Amino acid sequence: MDHNQEEKIKRTLDFIEKDRNIPDDPWFYSRLIARMENQEEKKRAMGFIGTIAQRLRPVLALAVIVVGITGGIYLGRALSPPVSSQESAISVFITSEDASAVLFREISGSMDEQILLMR
């Protein structure tokens, strides 16, 4: 770092001294009181129920999500055709058996082809 730059940094940091002299705001207190009164007015206008509703907003949002998910699950169950537990177990067994049979046939077929090619 050269001398010139060092000097510049020192001068820049000296602005902190100057920044301490923030110009006075003669209306600060009156604006603060006006703001507080405005907040009070809003609170009064909202009334008790409004205030409670505002405070409970996150809880209400969570409740809506929970109701939505639960409703979706119930609706899904209500609209799907009824399947007995025995039936569903058999269908799973048949499907899985079919799938394995197809797979076995495919593997053995490809092996046969390879044996033929080797010969």
Partner 1 sequence: MTDRELVQGIIDRDQAAFKELVEKYQQLVIRTCYALVQELEDSRDLAQEVFIEVMKSASSFRGTAKLSSWIYRIAVNKSLNHLKKSRRRGTVTLFSFRERGREEKEAEELVNSVSTGGDSIMEEKELRRALHIAISKLPDNQKIAFTLHKYEELPYQEVAEVMHVSLSSVESLIHRAKLNLQKRLSYYYESNLK
- Return residues touching partner 1 (CB under 8 A): 1, 5, 8-9, 11-13, 15-16, 18-25, 28-29, 31-32, 35-36, 39
To the nearest whole angstrom, how small is the minimum distance from the Cβ of residue 54 to partner 1?
16
Q: Which is nearer to partner 1, 35 or 105 (CB)?
A: 35
CA separation for the pair 106, 83 (Å, rounded): 32
Tokens standing for 61?
């949002």
**Under 8 Å between Cβ of 31 and 23:** no
CA distances from 23 to 20, 27, 32, 52, 54 (A): 9, 12, 17, 41, 38
Q: Which is nearer to partner 1, 11 or 55 (CB)?
A: 11
Q: What is the CA 57 to chain-centroid distance, rounded?
A: 17
To the nearest whole angstrom, how small is the minimum distance from the Cβ of residue 7 to partner 1?
11
Q: Which is nearer to partner 1, 9 or 101 (CB)?
A: 9
